[in-house]
Amino acid sequence: MSEYHTKPYPVTDYSPNNYRQTVDSIPPGWDLYIHPQGWVYFKNRQVRVVTDEDVRIPETLKSVEQYISSFPISELDEHMEILLPHGAMPGEHGLTLVVNHSLCIASHYLDEVRTTNVCKLDPYQVNRLHRLFWNYLQGHPAHVPTPANAEQEVRDALTWYHVDNLISGSRSTVPFSKMECEDLLKILNDTQVDWQQGSISRTVFLAWLSREIWSFRDAERYGQYTIKQSNVLRADRLRTGPASVTPLVLPAYISIPLDFVINVVFFAIPRTYLAHVKAASEYHGRLSSIQARWEQYIDRIVREYQDFLLIATVLLSANVSFLAINDLSPIATAAGIVSVFASLGSIIVGVFLHVEASIQ
């Protein structure tokens, strides 16, 4: 037994020649399943073990069997199974995921997923167990049917998110926007299948949605606070906002000339643009809101660049006309030439920025 604790899973050679020699057969008792994205995993129904290790390779199969022999399989209920962690050695059960399909929960601790113990857990723990289950099912959807209540729970959650978007508007922090809720509900309606026939891809879709829903509930402390407590916490969150980054303090010999250039030479325009960028980048609970603000900001920048190019072109024409005047002093001529080149540079920069912003 001691050698089990000193020898990890063997390093597998996945070169084409070696791979062709290892895929000829699947070990007795093991079944191969293919994820819609293309990878394979294996399950032994007799011992109720799922693994991502390639048990077609004899050395890997031996290590997996050694690990299984060290786990208390007999303590699993009929509707349970375990997922072996990658690279774990026999006796190291801390990362083994125990899955309870009847309750749609999973945990790294066997006692937490027993049917008799779930009612003793607090809501925060239950949220976490649901999230772990759906994360597991998203990666291993082919060997079990979709839980019967999965679609109804997803529909209920999406319906509430849709309603919350209508009620709260831009203050809504639910994980999906109003348009996203409508699109997701439409996909659910368009992909309905006979549950007896099943669909692995649909299982992955529902598992992904359920994982996002339970992740949001986990973050929001779903089922733990009263309405008064919840409103206080949300108000505090909106008032304090995200943790700010400590600004960089520059030495005086750098900050004073820099402030002069920004505030006097460039009329504080860089500070205005920086404020706009910060406003467009603020996170208020949904990434789609950031995307919408950035799209609006880019459209605004494009319009500003168009006006900027028009002004620079008029200024360039005026400077050229000014240089055509006879008997100009050398100083005036030099200033006019500098102004012409400055206008040309402004036009070139403006055209470049306009093109870049339009592409974005």
- Phi, psi (5° rounding) for residue 324? -75, -10
5, 91 contact by CB (below 8 A) = yes
- Which amino acid belongs to residue 150? A
Query: Can you give the pLDDT at residue 11?
Result: 42
Residue 202, exposed/middle/buried by CB under 10 A (0-12, 13-18, 19+)?
buried
CA 184 – CA 179 distance, rounded (Å): 9
Q: What angle do CA 110, 81, 99 make, to 5 degrees?
A: 55
Query: Can you give the pLDDT at residue 247?
Result: 63
42-47: Cβ within 8 A, 24+ apart? 43/81, 43/143, 44/68, 47/73
Closest CA to 50 of 146, 115, 136: 136
The answer to whether the predicted template modeling score (pTM) of the entire model surpasses 0.85 is no
Three-state SS for 81? strand
Query: Can you give the pLDDT at residue 136?
Result: 97
- Which amino acid belongs to residue 44? N
Residue with tokens 């024409």: 317
Query: Can you give the pLDDT at residue 239?
Result: 64
Three-state SS for 99? strand
Question: pLDDT tens digits, residue range 146-166?
Answer: 998 999 999 999 999 999 989
Closest CA to 202 of 218, 189, 217: 189
List, for the chain, all residue ranges whose pLDDT scores fall below the cut of 50.
1-23
Q: Where are the domains of the chain?
A: 16-146+205-220, 283-358
CA 178 – CA 318 distance, rounded (Å): 52
Three-state SS for 97? strand
